[in-house]
Amino acid sequence: MAENRRPGQELKPYDRGQICGEIAAGASQWQAARAVGCSQGAVQRTMKMLTERVNGQSMPRSGRPRKTTADQDKALCDRLRSQSSILLHVLRQTMLPTVSFNTMQARLREENFRMWQKKARFFLNEEKAARQLAWANEHKDWTVAQWKRILWTDECSVEKSAGQQSEWVYRASKDKWKPFDL
């Protein structure tokens, strides 16, 4: 168990229970620390906090107070769903001017929003689909010798820094391929 834990990493409830078991069995703090693979100070803190923890779980930490409310976070996400190509600094100026740019990015990460490059989706209508299906049905029983006579070319030319610049949109990961903004 100890080799899976990095130095300074928080103890898991199992490790805390193992410490309590070692101490209850009469082991010293040093022996308990060695058995679990942690420091003697971790054993001391575990025993000191024993009565305050429930099932060995860590106590909630206060952390820094949030700068945005749940309603503001929801409004931010709703706005990005409706205007996914809006620039983040414009969004900040219009919606949350008192919040830092980093805080806005953190809120978007919490909601699994990230930037995706806009993709061009080729349109497949009924007529094209019917033609492709007919072609596939005509050739489905071909032999390997017949397919070897076909020359497949799928070449394209690529020029660096030519053409339009890529456009980026904000999307939740689950909405990456939805048809809007493609």
Confidence (pLDDT) at 4? 60
How is residue 80 written in tokens?
A: 């990005």
How far apart CA 96 and CA 175 sit, in angstroms, is: 24
Question: Is the pLDDT at 162 greater than 70, yes or no?
Answer: no
- Global pTM value: 0.46
How is residue 86 written in tokens?
A: 């809006």
| DSSP symbol at 81 | H
How far apart CA 106 and CA 73 sit, in angstroms, is: 11
pLDDT tens for residues 140-156?
A: 999 999 988 887 777 76
Strand-pairing partners, residue 116, are 169
Give the residue extent of every domain in the chain. 2-48, 68-139+165-182
Confidence (pLDDT) at 88? 84
Closest among 126, 121, 122 to 178, alpha carbons compared? 121
Specify the residue for token string 């009565």: 51
pLDDT tens for residues 101-135?
A: 899 888 888 888 888 777 666 677 889 889 999 99
Check: CB of residue 180 under 8 Å from CB of residue 84: yes
